[in-house]
Structure 1
Amino acid sequence: MKKGSKVLFTILLVLLLVAGAGVGYIWSGMRPLAQEEREIPVSIQQGSGTAAIASQLEEQGIIRNALIFKVYLKWNGEGSRFQAGKYAFRPGVTYDDIIAKLNSGEVVPEEMVRFTIPEGYTVEQIADKLSNDGIVDKDRFLKLVNDTAWLKGQAPIAAHIPTDAKLKHRLEGYLFPETYELKKGSSEEEIIARMVQETEKRLSQASPTWESDLKTRGLTLHDMLTLASLVEREAVVDAERPLIAGVIDNRIAKGMRLQIDATVQYALDKPKERLYYKDLEIDSPYNTYKIDKLPPGPISSPSTASIQAVLKPEASEYLYYVTKKDGTHTHLFAKTFPEHQRNIEQSKKTAAQ
């Protein structure tokens, strides 16, 4: 073999070996890893380029070779539609499957936490429930509902809360009773803000003209929520809420004390199953047996029905009501005190039967 031929042969052989090695390198790099059932979480940050994503996938054991994955993306014109988010990939997934998932934004659903705040709950009850369910730290929750400056810009209605040292909890009545679903691990601030925002939303649902309704009635938003919280604790049957709201209005108009037991329960450190006459003497700005006006703020979280009742109370001449005690949760209404006394006796007889 001539010298020139030998050189050419050597060059060709080297090229073939290099090409073979290159093909082997590419084939090895493109070959999926061994398939596994476990899923590996991968968080793609907003603004991440294909180089960063490829390196991340290699580092986390999803692909064998970041460089080859980048070349594959370039060759196929992919990568420009990748979406940020939290993904889950199983080892052994193909390049095409990875690309399809990143293009579609098939992220792992956020783990959510679901909880229900019953109508008529107080801030203390809400804090206890959420704390017992492991959703909030009770002390931090109570601190945040009493120092509401942080809510500025997140919930405009919080600005309607008066600066009053007599308020037991500043956000009492502003945390709407509802079933909520939030991201697991949501902060106390996020949870409280969501509940106050729900109150804003429900005001419009209760009455699209609620702001003008308040002006017509000469009430502030805070007064309205205070009245609604009283109705919430006094009424069980929705049909009676507007009538009870009207009775409360009538008593206020006549300068009568409201004498609502629920306000005494709220004033007590620990509510009782039964109130005694001595309890009615408790010295508290919330005790409507002792004060001549509304308490300084709401005593519970009112429902939409109670808010509607206060915005549109039912007119009547009634000044009193008492529970029937017949299992219907309805009331007997009276215009005069003697009539009210007779209703009380009738209610007692019904309970004894």
Structure 2
Amino acid sequence: MPTSEIPGYGVPRYEPGRYDPPSWRADLPPVPVPDRSTGGFGRVSGLLDRQFDETDPVVEPEWWAYGSSDDPHYPLTARHGGDDRHGAPDRDSGYADDEGAAQQHPSLPLPPRPPGVWDRLRPREDASADDDATVAHGTLGGTPLDRDPRGGQTSRPVGGHRSDEDDDDVDDFDDSTDAHPIDDDLRAWDDQTGGLEVIGAHVEEDAPRPRGRRARREEALRAEAASAERARARRSDDTGRHHDTGHDALVHDEAFGEDIPVKPYDPRTGRARRKRSPVAVLISLLVLGGLVFGIVVGGQRLLELINPASQDYAGQGTGEVQVRVQDGDTLSDIARTLVTADVVASIGPFVDAAEANAAAVGIQPGVYGMRLQMSGQAALDLLLDPSARLLSRVTLPEGLTVTQALTRIAEQTGTPIAELEAVAADPVALGLPAYANGVLEGFLFPATYDIEPDDAPADVLRQMVARAVQALDELQIPEDQRLTVLTKASLVQAEAGSVEDMGKVARVLENRLADGMPLQLDTTVNYANGKGGITTTAQDRQNPSPYNTYVHPGLPPGAINNPGEDALRAVLSPTAGDWRFFVVVDPDTGDTRFAVTGEEHQQNVLLFQQWLRDNPEG
């Protein structure tokens, strides 16, 4: 519908000309002001001097009660500030000018607020009282803004009905806006649209076809229905009867009110499978297997070219090579060592195999006997095999002297004794502490050591010295007392026949030293003479060595062997007792007798002499 035919469309809601204030002329005579005392008019200034409560009440004009300027009897002078169309001046509104025209007094209150849209709504004159309030009626008529011949605005309400003399025009206009009955063809759409008018519902079938996805769908359905109809015609028998599949194949779409045809099954279109010969199947499988093999091999070659880190040898390898795993090496460090020795081709395969095996974190530092060009998995398996680790396990028992310890190390590791003795003569290179006074005796701690094939002799001895210092630290022995404690512990280690007797031997040493008695230990004499055994001769006891406790009172200058932790603890906590003497009466069993007096000790010595006679080869 054109916008010009819409009721009220285009009518301004606010007309400035209608509400402009009246124009004031400069040549008007002064307004007479009533005098206070006489009630007449005085000076103009008297108006300013009047009190508000002295002002006479203003009589409201009759047109104020109309409520709206759209009322037919509303004076035009109140609307436009001018003469009425009848030409009579408005005497009630204020005062008159020279021509007798009515002017609005400036002190009067403002006129009522301009009417709005709701002020222009009125009941239909032709409406029946029996009409239901909820039934829709025709839209209100309206015309564009009317103007009088003088170019002024009409007295009728803006956008409202025409006056009585224009009723015919109004009826004609209302006829164009009244609601009409809905066509029967659109009643079906009302059920789905809720009574709203559906755009395009009245379009005839011969209208241009819509475009879009739905149009293409409908075209396809119609074409398919036509094809199905032709198929049914071809399948009709000689009697003219058709198969029942035609109508049964139509599916009704409730949403769109359409019958969607479903293409019936035509058994003539199915083709039976042809049987394949076994030879063809076998050839197909061979070809497929060849393709898979080629893809796998080609992919591996291509991967090796693109990523050299993924290269890997195949098999268990050949030859022999020694590989050292350093302390603190990670799996990647071990892999790089293996790559350098040509044990594995690249880092990736070995690391992948190691990460998949939790035992790989248990690879110990050391030298391993490996093979050349092994796969990553094979190299990992060999490193986890204890037999692959190449090492010499050397055990130093308690009580061995430095000479005896170097001999044992040389025998078990294959290191020449001369190299070990040369290193032992340089205590600074071995990390000896300052309180050792440059003497290695007592600092080759008795324990079991794993010595690798390529370990240097200095590294081997340095490891033993470090272990001795560690034991002294753990026992919390002050550094200024460590040499004395080591010396006493070496005497206890040499004289005691068992761990149980060590505390008593330590107590004898303390008692004799407290009394100022010489220790007179055969073990110190044999150490001075470079001999072994538990007995000495008179000539042996004449050796002036400071280690000869028969000649020199007190302790020797240092340890006479390498004591163990039990001897060190015995010295730190001797067994309580008054013993001054002890002697081993049976070296085979280690039976040791302790005595307080010399007479008791002589009785024990006779027992030892009897054992010597019974064992002449002693």
TM-score surpassing 0.5? Answer: yes
CA contact (8 A) 1:137 1:188 kept: no
Note if 1:311 corresponds to 2:572.
Answer: yes
Question: What does residue range 73-92 of structure 1 map to in structure 2 within 5 Å?
Answer: 88=370, 91=373
TM-score with structure 1 length normalisation? 0.67
Taking the aligned partners of 1:87 and 1:148, their CA distance within structure 2 comes to 33
Contact 1:121 1:300 in 2 (8 A): yes
Out of 150, 157, 169, which is 2:429 matched to? 150
The gaps in structure 2 that reach 5 residues or longer are 1-297, 306-310
1:288-346 alpha-carbon deviations (Å, 9 max, x no partner): 11111211111111121111111111121111111122843122211122222222224
Q: Are residues 1:160 and 2:435 paired?
A: yes
Relative to structure 1, is the Cα distance of residues 150 and 25 closer, same or farther in structure 2, using a 3 angstrom cutoff?
closer
1:127 corresponds in structure 2 to 406
Distance 1:36 1:226, change over 3 A: closer
Contact 1:318 1:333 in 2 (8 A): yes
Spell out, residue by residue over 1:8-61, the C-alpha distance to the aligned partner (whole angstroms, 9 max, x if none). xxxxxxxxxxxxxxx6994697898775652675979999x9xxx7xx68x959
TM-score scaled to structure 2, two decimals? 0.41
Match of 1:329 among 585, 590, 594: 590
- Residue in 2 that maps onto 1:118: 397
> 2:523 maps to which residue?
262
Pick the aligned partner of 1:278 from 532, 539, 550: 539
**Of 176, 179, 184, which residue of structure 1 is paired with 2:453?**
184
Residue equivalent to 1:8: none
Shift in CA distance, 104/298, structure 1 to aligned 2, threshold 3 Å: same
Distance in 2, matches of 1:342 and 1:62, equals 74
Q: 1:291 to 1:104 in 2, by over 3 A?
A: same
Counterpart-to-counterpart distance in 1, 2:512 and 2:537: 23
**1:52-85: CA deviation from partner (whole Å, max 9, x where unpaired):** x7xx68x95966xxxxx89xx7xxxx9xx9x9x9
Cα distance change on mapping 1:274 and 1:210 into 2, 3 Å: same
- Report % sequence identity: 26
User: Distance between the aligned counterparts of 2:411 and 2:510, measured in 1?
Assistant: 38
Residues 33 and 252 of structure 1: CA distance in aligned 2, closer, same or farther (over 3 Å): closer
Q: Secondary structure of the residue that 1:333 maps to in structure 2?
A: strand
Larger radius of gyration: 2
Greater helix content: 1
1:150 to partner: Cα distance: 1.9
Paired residues of 1:280 and 1:287 also in contact (CA < 8 A): yes
Check 1:26–1:144 CA distance in 2 against 1; reply closer, same or farther (3 A cut).
Answer: closer
Distance 1:222 1:334 in 2: 28
The one of the two structures with greater contact order (alpha-carbon pairs below 8 A, sep at least 6) is 1
3-state SS of paired residue (2:586): coil
Pair 1:210-2:476 in alignment: yes
Opposite residue 159 of structure 1, the aligned amino acid is A
Partner Cα separation in structure 2 for residue 162 and residue 293 of structure 1: 18
Which whole-Å CA distance do the structure 1 matches of 2:459 and 2:497 have between them? Answer: 31
Given residue 317 of structure 1, which amino acid in structure 2 is its aligned partner?
Answer: D
User: Shift in Å at residue 231 of structure 1?
Assistant: 0.6
Partner of residue 600, structure 2? 339
CA distance in 1 between counterparts of 2:506 and 2:343 reads: 65
What CA distance in whole angstroms lies between the structure 2 residues aligned with 1:140 and 1:104? 36
**How do 1:35-54 residues align onto structure 2 when only pairs under 5 Å count?**
35=315, 38=318, 41=321
Q: Distance in 2 between matches of 1:293 and 1:135?
A: 40
2:175 is the alignment partner of 1:175: no
> Shift of residue 351 of structure 1?
6.0
Q: Using the alignment, how far apart are the partners of 2:382 and 2:304 within structure 1? A: 25
Contact 2:424-2:430 at 8 Å conserved across structures:
no
In the TM superposition, residue 183 of structure 1 has moved relative to its aligned partner by: 1.9
Deviation of the 1:203 alpha carbon = 3.5
C-alpha contact (below 8 Å) 2:315/2:378 kept by paired residues: no
Matching residue of 1:15: none
- Could you tell me whether the CA contact under 8 Å between 2:583 and 2:592 is conserved in 1? yes
Q: Deviations over 1:258-284 (max 9, x none)?
A: 111011111113436742111100121
Provide closer, same or farther for how the CA distance between residues 326 and 235 of structure 1 changes in structure 2, counting only shifts above 3 A.
closer
Task: Give, in angstroms, the shift of residue 179 of structure 1.
Answer: 1.8
Displacement, 1:162?
A: 2.3
Aligned length: 297
| Alignment match of 2:560 (pick from 295, 299, 306) | 299
1:118-171 superposed Cα distances (whole Å, 9 cap, x missing partner): 21110111111222334433223223223211234xx6xx232125xxxxxx11
- With over 3 angstroms needed to count, the CA separation of the structure-2 counterparts of 1:240 and 1:226, relative to structure 1, is same
For the Cα contact (< 8 Å) 1:87–1:107, is it kept in 2? no
